[in-house]
Structure 1
Amino acid sequence: MKLNFSASSIRNDHLTLLEFRKQVNQDPHGLLNSWNESIHFCNWKGISCSLGRPERVTGLDLRDQRLQGTLSPYLGNLTFLTLLVLSNNSFHGEIPQELGSLFYLRVLNFSDNKLDGKIPVQLMSLVKLQGLDLAKNAFTGHISPSIGNLSSLVQLSLGQNHFYGSIPDDICHLRNLSFLQVDTNNFTGEVPSCLYNHSYLAMFSVSENSLEGSLPLNFGVTLPNIKQLYLALNRFTGPIPVSILNASKLETIAFQYNNFTGLVPRDIGKLQGLRYLDFSSNQMGTDNGDDLSFIDSLTNCGDLEQLATGNNFLLGQLPKSIANLSTSITLFQVGGNQIYGSIPAGFRNLVNLETLYLERNNLTGKIPEDLGGLVNLQKVYLQGNHLSGLIPDSIGNMTKLTHLHLGENSLIGSIPLSLENCLNLFFLNLSYNNLSGTIPAHLLSLSSLTLSLNLDHNYLYGSIPSEVGNLTNLVMLDVSENRLSGQIPESLGLCLNLVYLNMGGNSFEGNIPKSLNTLRGVVYFDLSSNNLSGEIPEYLTDFPDLVSLNLSFNHFEGPVPNNGTFQNLSMVSIVGNNKLCGGVVQLRLPPCLTHEAARGTKKKSLPLKVIIPVIIAGLCLFLSMIFVICSRQNKFKSLIPQIKLKVSYADLFKAKSLIPQIKLKVSYADLFKATNGFSAENLVGAVCYGSVYKGIFDLEHLYSNQSVAVKVISLQQEGALESYLSECDVLRYIRHRNLVKIITTCSTVDFQGNDFKAIVFKFMPKGSLEEWLHPRLDAEHEQKNLKFAQRLSIVIDIANALEYLHHQCEPVMVHCDLKPSNILLDDDMTAHVANFGLPEFKSAPSHFSTPSEASSVSIKRTIGHLPPEYGKDGEVSIEIDVYSYGILLLEMFTKKRPTDEMFRDGLNLHNYAKMALPDQVREILDPALLASEDVGTMSIENQNDRQELILEYSTSILQLGILCSAESSKERLSMVEVVKELYNIRGY
């Protein structure tokens, strides 16, 4: 209903402001406390007034106050208002159409709120408006053609919303427009060509949308004054038009993450004012081997700072003209192409170069000695080439170096001693080369090495220097597959932050040092294929985060611990140690004998040959007597069923292991009492085939006051019974710390005689991942937020569960319904995969559902988390779960549902994330991630450093999610690879 803004209803600006305040329900900074009758409203905080009489409100500026509420329609009464800024708050709901009455308004800024709905068409009558900023909200709908009426508009920002459709041609009527931002929406179609006909346009940004089509042929001719051109993260196709060279004032060309083909224009250097050139992650390249010739012309660009053409199909050699590029250049990125030949010595002239990406090409030859003269270099990535020769000693001159990746080449010789000069180095990867010699003690004295030290798959020999204890903050250490020997140094126990430790495939000997009991944060621990001996330390059972322990193929002896990690065979490997005994039954190891028992067995072996026959004879005589007595009393027949089969010690040992699997028997009455009569207050939520209630058991001392989750099956639903039976079968045979734990089942009748079936699980007090990712925002529900380290821990938990289902179970199981609501969290925020009501199996035995049978009840699975191939041929594969996991990764770190309404017209969550990599990750990340105070095991006080680190590792995680959710199932990773990559990522 339209309000009547008459003097009788709202008499002045004072009352209007009070009406606005009424709809603000949260004011954490107390700014609006000054809005009271004791102070004139022109002196209220955030208010500015005119100097005339009567005083009228001309400015309302309440930015950055975390206010929450809705926008009052009475704001339309402030008819003298010229400035209205409410940015960076939590206002929700729609923009009132009454704001169209603010005819004097010049600046309207509602950015970074939670507003939704469409832009009211009434706003298009504000002809004096110069700045309109609605970015970072949830607006939808098309951009109205009437936007052309805003003839005074200079800046228009609509980014990071859910707008769709095309950009209307009428936007070209905005003759004064200098800034246009429409990134991160769902726009389609072509960019209106009329935009290029105006020399006044100083900046044009349409990044991160779904725009399609190629650039106009007269592109450059119609943009003579454009300076900043951002077309990144779209779906533009075709070659880069040569006419772009006519846009002589261009300073920035950002065309990354599109589908451009062909060549970079050879004369691109005619744009002498270029500072930033990025054509990376397209499909550019030819087969003529001269695709890098455009670099010759860039020598004319004296202000060039960044050049990026990586991840294309560019074929050719790096030209010698690199030596003549601008000395202002800080980034040179051409990795992931088809570049061959050697690295030009001319790089030595780029004295301000900070980042060099030449990875994953076909480069040969040696690493130039002169490269060490670039003292400002911070990141060098040369991995994945065919480089040979020695690592130059001059590399130690790069004292600002933080990242050095030379892995996957054919480098020889020893590790340069000069690396000890790189006092800022925290990531060093020399893996998969032909390096020899010993590990320099001075290298291990670099306390800056905190992220990763990878020396694996080389020919290094000798012992590990005791100086390794200096790496107290190192998270990942991999020296596997070398020729190292000697004992594991005691000082390794000083590396308290280790998460990943791999020393396998060497010749280490002796015992595992007692000092390693301090490594309580280790997640991946591999000592396999060495010559280690002695007993397995008991302290390994107390490592809370350990999920992979490999002690196989050594000479360990004695008892295997049977608690902690050693209870789960999916986490532990001890094969190839022939003198071990004990442990859990599933290991099938011989029992451990005490020293006295072993000695007694040898002494009495001969007498036993006499004693055993005597005992057997006596037993036969005893049974004969029983037989005679029972025959006389006519009871022989009653004893026949009690005659037992002969059993061995192994049989009894195996039978004993079945005892813990006996489940607690509960009745309907027990569950009725535990859940307070299945009351609404105890209802936790609904699942596919039933409801889940929280209950409290008070049955036996073992279960007294234990919180449980009771899943009551809705048997009236078609497929519910099959789901119940299938889930019971699955949960009976699987055991993993990251799978939901079943306590018992109940199959009976209720008080009315109706069939009743339920499954009782261990209660997960932190609820589902769904509740944390997409919390309900109301007064009854507490605001939830997952920190970065928590999200990473959760995705590792889920990956471990899937790796177990896919590669440890027999038969192999495919979950087929992986989504946030099926991930439950315990008190420690450990994730547990749940809801096995619709599993599918490969090579399943008869008591499981076959793929065809399971497919018949698969209709209810979640759209958005399933791959394109699912359901097409009735076949299932583990790649289905891998796809779902990839989508789940992307959802967790972007906080975007795969079914979000923004994903339409070919855009999906996979493409949305892929287009943002690597430079626009900040724009798609859940903003709450960058506010995380914790970054795993590293303590970083500086907020900017912390955010940069989170961005770096979030980029790696999103890349992993993209690989897992590839459209082609053949391109997806296995969960074994995923787990390994996650542990690598966690190595901060």
Structure 2
Amino acid sequence: MRTHSQLLLYFMLSTTVALALSLSSVTDKHALLSLKEKLTNGIPDALPSWNESLHFCEWEGVTCGRRHMRVSVLHLENQNWGGTLGPSLGNLTFLRKLKLSNIDLHGEIPKEVGLLKRLQVLDLSKNKFHGKIPFELTNCTNLQEIILLYNQLTGNVPSWFGSMTQLNKLLLGANNLIPLTLGSLNKLKRIRVDNNNFGSGGSHDLNFLSSLTNCTKLEQLILDGNGFGGVLPYYVGNLSTYLSVLSMAKNQIYGVIPESLGQLINLTEFDMMRNFLEGKIPNSIGKLKNLGRLVLQQNSLSGNITTIGNLTTLFELYLHTNNFEGSIPITLRHCTQLQTFGISTNNLSGDIPDHLFGYLENLINLDLSNNSLTGPLPLGFGNLKHLSLLYLYENKLSGEIPSDLGTCLSLTELILERNFFHGSIPWFLGSLRSLEVLDISNNSFSSTIPLELENLVYLNTLDLSFNNLYGEVPTRGVFSNVSAINSLTGNKNLCGGIPQLKLPPCLKVPAKKHKRTPKEKLILISVIGGVVISVIAFTIVHFLTRKPKRLSSSPSLINGSLRVTYGELHEATNGFSSSNLVGTGSFGSVYKGSLLYFEKPIAVKVLNLETRGAAKSFMVECNALGKMKHRNLVKILTCCSSVDYNGEDFKAIVFEFMPSGNLENLLHGNEDHESRNLNLNFTQRLDIALDVAHALDYLHNDTEQVVVHCDVKPSNVLLDDDGVTHLGDFGVARFLHGATEYSSKNQVISSTIKGTIGYIPPEYGSGGMVSPQGDIYSYGIVLLEMLTGKRPTDNMFYENLSLHKFCKMRIPEGILDVVDSCLLMSFAEDQTQVMENNIKECLVMFAKIGIACSEEFPTQRMLTKDVIVKLLEIKRKLSS
């Protein structure tokens, strides 16, 4: 009987629970439908999936818990419904995350939100909510994040936030709140109460900061744009030792920056832009060894900036519009991570130190405008391969524009106006294919306008006014667009050009014919005869005295001094031992070694001459790399053609050794590294992509003959100690002959070359002609491999699914589904929604480049110049 009674009781309880859960589910469904009516303002086509044909747990933006099938997450964003948040929200009692960002909601935040006692995340940012933050939120004791950015809320920041013991993120910026009661929030890690228009004239001081010293876990404090006045107190140095971001930009803070700032040793960002600070930058700021972003522009600071040189992790430095004086310190060369350096509108003077900027190879933006700098442009600009913006206008600089500026192929804006530059306008400016703005007005240039400027296809603003230019104005390219030529005025002797410029026509002066006298003819004949006799005599002596070819080693002299024999290479690599073996390729093996008279380690590529094509590969690679010099190509030291100890032919190529290995191993690991290198973050992958693009651009556009690499793949992408990428292994490279490259006489049949499966462009597989577009295809596959962490030969790619199609199908919405998980781990976990969206956008842009480069048809693929411009755009966006 007891057993039957227990079973009956269990059945009744189970039925009751099931009925309760069923009723609760119905409650959630009705609550959602009621919410929809309010949220969407009755728009009939909004949220089409919210209908009877689908279970409500499958509706857009709705996530249910597995156990009770109750709504646990409601996440909707980026709509223009213009509705309100209805009181039925309070019936979703299992809700843990409520994210309704940027859907144009208005009205007040309903008090019923206080019924959501399980709520952990409340994000109502980027709407039009007004009124006060409801007191009923105190019932939500599990809240960890409150994000109410960009609304129209009013009143004080509630002091009762301090009772929320789990709260670790409070983002209330861009409202009309008064942030003066923050001290009780001692559990918070992030406080953002910026851009709240509660007053002007600096009527609110910073005394409340003393109470924030109780917030021992505080990591970010952002109080921008709030009208705070008073001095920055000394006890700012007593804030949390975990503090990484301190930002009080756009207030009315005056006085000096206290020395105690140096106590915040974990600070990565310090932003005091647009205040009234004065005095010098404190020496203690040099103790902030983790500082990456320093923004002090638009204040009244003075003195020199020598102490900045101690900030070796700095990547953004903004010092515009202050009263800094003295010269640019050479100590800045220690800031090797610097990407943006701006110190315009100050009182700097003296020459720019020679070679200073040669150390700052990561610079993207450099603004030294509106100072009193003198002297010529220094050496070292040639190292700035990523430089995009160069502003030097309104100084007292002089001399000619140095030729190494012509290697800054990523420049988009070059502004040199109002200086004392003279000489000719350099023809090499026409090689800066990414240039969009060129302003050299108000200088003393005296020459004709070089025709090479017609090649700048992206140039949309050109100002050459007020110089001493003369001669005919070109008519093509930017010169065909009168709206793009800002001005040519102030150059009295220009002529021609398009009719809209209204310049006088150029006079055609006939060339005078010069008749040589009999005496001149006799001298000319004698000179030519002497040269012919000398050449014949030299040839005879050469053939009589030359030694047999195989008597000794005959290394090719590449760098002008290094000569090696087989014996020296044998000793350098420990007898070509397996312990020195670092890799194998199509035509041979590569060994690490060291020569007594060469300070750096070397890599020796020993050709396997039994392999068909190896000897030809040796000649191709020696000829290719011997003639080419570029920062992003592997540097060849010498070639050795000799005999070994057994009297057999021996051929080897000697390179500088790349200690950081190749991209293949960094992405996928190797036998020596079982786990993958998780430290290769997106910025580093972006730099690698840029370096390889620069190398290909050089091969395809800047050599005497067009060079097609024919085997671009991760194992041929090598990194040195400084993180600079080098493209190597030119064993199957092909030379094309300029304008005749597509004639039948000069074409190279792709079936005769060796490539690597997965990276070979489809046209090569069908016997198509070798072309630069083939390299672009391989490069695009490498980009997608860097993005996804998957090889193009991965087992998941079969039949009609390729790496290219896999990525193309999933962008932009599914970008996070394809991105390498190791890459995602490198991003900071605690990001704002704006930063997350920015990163996603950068990833999508990167994926689109890889897809565009690896299109099936060659004519549809991107050009290297366009690739570089797009990658730099991503880099600027990522750094912002």
Return closer, same or farther for 1:918/1:458 CA change in 2, 3 Å cut-off.
farther
* Secondary structure of the structure 1 residue equivalent to 2:849: coil
* Secondary structure of the structure 2 residue equivalent to 1:419: helix
Return closer, same or farther for 1:198/1:488 CA change in 2, 3 Å cut-off.
closer
Aligned-pair RMSD on alpha carbons?
Answer: 3.9
> Which residue is equivalent to 2:366?
453
Return closer, same or farther for 1:340/1:506 CA change in 2, 3 Å cut-off.
same
Return closer, same or farther for 1:343/1:302 CA change in 2, 3 Å cut-off.
same
Give the residue type in structure 2 aligned to 1:269: G
Return closer, same or farther for 1:226/1:562 CA change in 2, 3 Å cut-off.
closer
* Secondary structure of the structure 2 residue equivalent to 1:363: strand
> Which residue is equivalent to 1:933?
849
Return closer, same or farther for 1:928/1:466 CA change in 2, 3 Å cut-off.
closer
Which deviates more from structure 2 when the two are superposed, residues 487-496 or residues 161-170? 161-170
Aligned residue among 569, 579, 586 for 2:500: 586
For 2:348 and 2:327, the matched residues in 1 are separated by: 6
Aligned residue among 392, 401, 404 for 1:491: 404
Task: Tell me, yes or no, if structure 1 residue 546 matches structure 2 residue 421.
Answer: no
For 2:876 and 2:424, the matched residues in 1 are separated by: 37
> Which residue is equivalent to 1:195?
113
> Which residue is equivalent to 2:673?
none
Give a deviation string over 1:861-908, Cα, whole Å, max 9, x none: xxxxxxxxxxxxxxxxxxxxxxxxxxxxxxxxxx99xxxxxxxxxxxx
Which deviates more from structure 2 when the two are superposed, residues 539-548 or residues 302-311? 539-548
Task: Tell me, yes or no, if structure 1 residue 135 matches structure 2 residue 75.
Answer: no
Q: Which has the higher contact order (CA 8 A, sep 6+)?
A: 1
> Which residue is equivalent to 2:300?
386
Which deviates more from structure 2 when the two are superposed, residues 415-424 or residues 929-938? 929-938
Task: Tell me, yes or no, if structure 1 residue 401 matches structure 2 residue 314.
Answer: yes
What count of residue pairs does the alignment treat as equivalent? 512
**Contact preservation (8 Å) 2:352, 2:373:** yes
Task: Tell me, yes or no, if structure 1 residue 261 matches structure 2 residue 185.
Answer: no
**Contact preservation (8 Å) 2:410, 2:868:** no
Return closer, same or farther for 1:215/1:276 CA change in 2, 3 Å cut-off.
same
Task: Tell me, yes or no, if structure 1 residue 314 matches structure 2 residue 245.
Answer: no
Aligned residue among 320, 324, 330 for 2:244: 330
**Contact preservation (8 Å) 1:447, 1:473:** no
Provide structure 1 residue ranges, at least 5 long, that are not aligned to the other structure.
1-78, 83-96, 102-113, 138-146, 600-787, 789-894, 897-915, 954-988
Give a deviation string over 1:287-315, Cα, whole Å, max 9, x none: 56443222111111111011111122222
Quote how far apart the aligned CAs of 1:924 are.
11
Give a deviation string over 1:182-240, Cα, whole Å, max 9, x none: 22323332222232355433222222333232223x35644444221122232222332
Aligned residue among 346, 360, 367 for 2:274: 360
Quote how far apart the aligned CAs of 1:318 are.
1.5
> Which residue is equivalent to 1:240?
157
Give the residue type in structure 2 aligned to 1:229: I
> Which residue is equivalent to 1:370?
284
Give a deviation string over 1:487-537, Cα, whole Å, max 9, x none: 111221111111111111111111122333321221111111111112111
Provide structure 2 residue ranges, at least 5 long, that are not aligned to the other structure.
1-17, 31-44, 514-685, 687-811, 814-831, 851-861
For 2:49 and 2:140, the matched residues in 1 are separated by: 31
Task: Tell me, yes or no, if structure 1 residue 429 matches structure 2 residue 342.
Answer: yes
Return closer, same or farther for 1:540/1:307 CA change in 2, 3 Å cut-off.
same
* Secondary structure of the structure 1 residue equivalent to 2:348: strand
Give a deviation string over 1:130-168, Cα, whole Å, max 9, x none: xx773399xxxxxxxxx9xx9943333334456653323
Identity of aligned residues (%): 33
Quote how far apart the aligned CAs of 1:478 are.
1.1
> Which residue is equivalent to 1:470?
383
For 1:316 and 1:920, the matched residues in 2 are separated by: 35
> Which residue is equivalent to 1:119?
50
Give the residue type in structure 1 aligned to 2:425: I
Give a deviation string over 1:813-860, Cα, whole Å, max 9, x none: xxxxxxxxxxxxxxxxxxxxxxxxxxxxxxxxxxxxxxxxxxxxxxxx
* Secondary structure of the structure 1 residue equivalent to 2:469: strand
* Secondary structure of the structure 2 residue equivalent to 1:296: helix
Aligned residue among 95, 99, 122 for 1:181: 99
For 1:942 and 1:592, the matched residues in 2 are separated by: 40
**Contact preservation (8 Å) 1:209, 1:234:** yes
**Contact preservation (8 Å) 2:210, 2:235:** yes
Give the residue type in structure 2 aligned to 1:413: G
**Contact preservation (8 Å) 1:447, 1:472:** no
Return closer, same or farther for 1:119/1:211 CA change in 2, 3 Å cut-off.
farther
> Which residue is equivalent to 1:228?
145
For 2:102 and 2:839, the matched residues in 1 are separated by: 8
Q: Give the TM-score normalised by the residue count of structure 1.
A: 0.48
> Which residue is equivalent to 1:209?
127
Give a deviation string over 1:356-392, Cα, whole Å, max 9, x none: 111111211111121121110111111111111111x
**Contact preservation (8 Å) 2:153, 2:177:** no
**Contact preservation (8 Å) 1:490, 1:515:** yes
Return closer, same or farther for 1:136/1:512 CA change in 2, 3 Å cut-off.
farther
* Secondary structure of the structure 1 residue equivalent to 2:325: strand
Give the residue type in structure 2 aligned to 1:537: P
For 1:589 and 1:183, the matched residues in 2 are separated by: 58
For 2:194 and 2:59, the matched residues in 1 are separated by: 30
Quote how far apart the aligned CAs of 1:429 are.
0.6
Quote how far apart the aligned CAs of 1:344 are.
1.8
Quote how far apart the aligned CAs of 1:253 are.
0.6
Task: Tell me, yes or no, if structure 1 residue 299 matches structure 2 residue 213.
Answer: yes
Quote how far apart the aligned CAs of 1:447 are.
4.5
Quote how far apart the aligned CAs of 1:324 are.
0.4
* Secondary structure of the structure 2 residue equivalent to 1:154: strand
* Secondary structure of the structure 1 residue equivalent to 2:452: helix
Task: Tell me, yes or no, if structure 1 residue 505 matches structure 2 residue 418.
Answer: yes
Give the residue type in structure 2 aligned to 1:230: I
Return closer, same or farther for 1:562/1:316 CA change in 2, 3 Å cut-off.
same
Return closer, same or farther for 1:917/1:549 CA change in 2, 3 Å cut-off.
farther
Give the residue type in structure 2 aligned to 1:378: G
State how 1:746-761 maps to structure 2 within 5 Å.
Answer: none
Give a deviation string over 1:946-985, Cα, whole Å, max 9, x none: 97754566xxxxxxxxxxxxxxxxxxxxxxxxxxxxxxxx
> Which residue is equivalent to 1:25?
none
**Contact preservation (8 Å) 1:306, 1:329:** yes
Return closer, same or farther for 1:561/1:439 CA change in 2, 3 Å cut-off.
same
State how 1:696-775 maps to structure 2 within 5 Å.
Answer: none
* Secondary structure of the structure 1 residue equivalent to 2:128: coil
Give a deviation string over 1:370-422, Cα, whole Å, max 9, x none: 1121110111111111111111x221121111111101111111111111001
Quote how far apart the aligned CAs of 1:445 are.
0.2
Task: Tell me, yes or no, if structure 1 residue 525 matches structure 2 residue 438.
Answer: yes
* Secondary structure of the structure 1 residue equivalent to 2:366: strand
For 2:494 and 2:869, the matched residues in 1 are separated by: 47
* Secondary structure of the structure 1 residue equivalent to 2:393: coil
Return closer, same or farther for 1:549/1:304 CA change in 2, 3 Å cut-off.
same
Give the residue type in structure 2 aligned to 1:401: L
Return closer, same or farther for 1:172/1:923 CA change in 2, 3 Å cut-off.
farther
Give the residue type in structure 1 aligned to 2:180: V
For 1:584 and 1:356, the matched residues in 2 are separated by: 52
**Contact preservation (8 Å) 1:248, 1:270:** no
Give the residue type in structure 1 aligned to 2:103: N
**Contact preservation (8 Å) 1:157, 1:182:** yes
> Which residue is equivalent to 1:169?
87
> Which residue is equivalent to 2:616?
none
